[in-house]
Amino acid sequence: MRESAVEFANSLIDTMLDRGGPSNLVEDYAVALPIQMLSNLLGVPPEDRAKFQKWSSATLSVANMPQEEVEANMIELVQYMLALIEERRREPREDLLSDLANARDRDETLTDAEILPIALILIIGGFDNTANFICSGVLSLLHNPDQLKILLDDVDSVVPTAVEEVLRHGRFELGRPVAGAGGLVPFVATEDVEFDGVLVARGDAILVDPGSAGHDPAAVAHSETFDVLRTENPHLTLSYGLHHCLGAPLARMELQVAISELFKRLPDLELAGEVVVDETNLTQPITSLPVTW
């Protein structure tokens, strides 16, 4: 999928150049790229991008949205997906949603009750965090011109380690003392365990902040430094073990393509205003990243 990602990234950059700066990188690039790739993979019409952004925002909302509005958006999303699954069952295509929709009739490994939540998780989780890390990565590079120079000197060779550093560094580039966004769903302790003198009892919920974990000096040397050449980088941003993100290879590829193509085409990219973060959303996405060139 990398080739199509490169092609689409450059078409988005062409549009930005034609329109001229300044540009809100969130709307014009960071969200559009992963939604397009997810649409290609799943078989979701890309023209429905605005709907999925709205539904995702409602699904992840933690404040400032009435419960009735959240529920209405969730009902819309479920109805849309049920109709799309049925359509793919009648007329299958070369996409993941068609495979899911027809698994029931092929070998009964998936029921309809299982197909829907799988599709919903893939859609909601498949673009929101990737878009956010594209923004965090661009912001981190713009705030660290010495590291941006290292990237620009050899983009293709440096971008794999740069992306891992973006994933580790996370939201700290926003100037906060801790990342604070949580970023993962709560885990439940299956046995009593003690952390730093605090007992977590069996059955207790634990919310992990991967961004803070990625800045633990016991695990990462000079963790406060943003280093695009860092090779020892055991971050937990994509979780671990059984809970490791199943979309990790896709997310890494999209981040590598988004960052490398953007700075190849716009090496003089710079901030053109204040960054805006939506504090009412579970993932606390960057909603405005004004840039010019």
Please tell me the distance from the alpha carbon of residue 107 to that of residue 115, in angstroms, as a whole number.
14
Q: pTM to 2 decimals?
A: 0.85
Residue for token digits 């709560």?
A: 186
Asked if the peptide bond before residue 290 counts as cis, ω within 30 degrees of 0, the response is: no
**Number of neighbouring beta carbons within 10 Å of residue 82:** 14
8 Å CB contact between 162 and 151: yes
For residue range 92-135, list pLDDT tens digits in order. Answer: 888 888 888 887 667 667 777 888 888 887 777 777 788 889 99
Q: Count Cβ atoms within 10 A of the Cβ of residue 16 and give its class: 0-12 exposed, 13-18 middle, 19 or more buried.
A: buried
Q: What does the pLDDT read at residue 184?
A: 64
CA angle centred on 263, ends 258 and 268, rounded to 5° = 145
For residue range 163-192, list pLDDT tens digits in order. Answer: 999 999 877 777 766 555 555 677 899 999
8 Å CB contact between 8 and 37: yes
For residue range 70-99, list pLDDT tens digits in order. Answer: 888 888 888 888 888 888 888 888 888 888
Q: Judge whether residue 160 has pLDDT over 70.
A: yes
Q: What are the distances in angstroms from CA 221 to CA 5, 18, 159, 214, 232?
A: 33, 43, 20, 10, 8
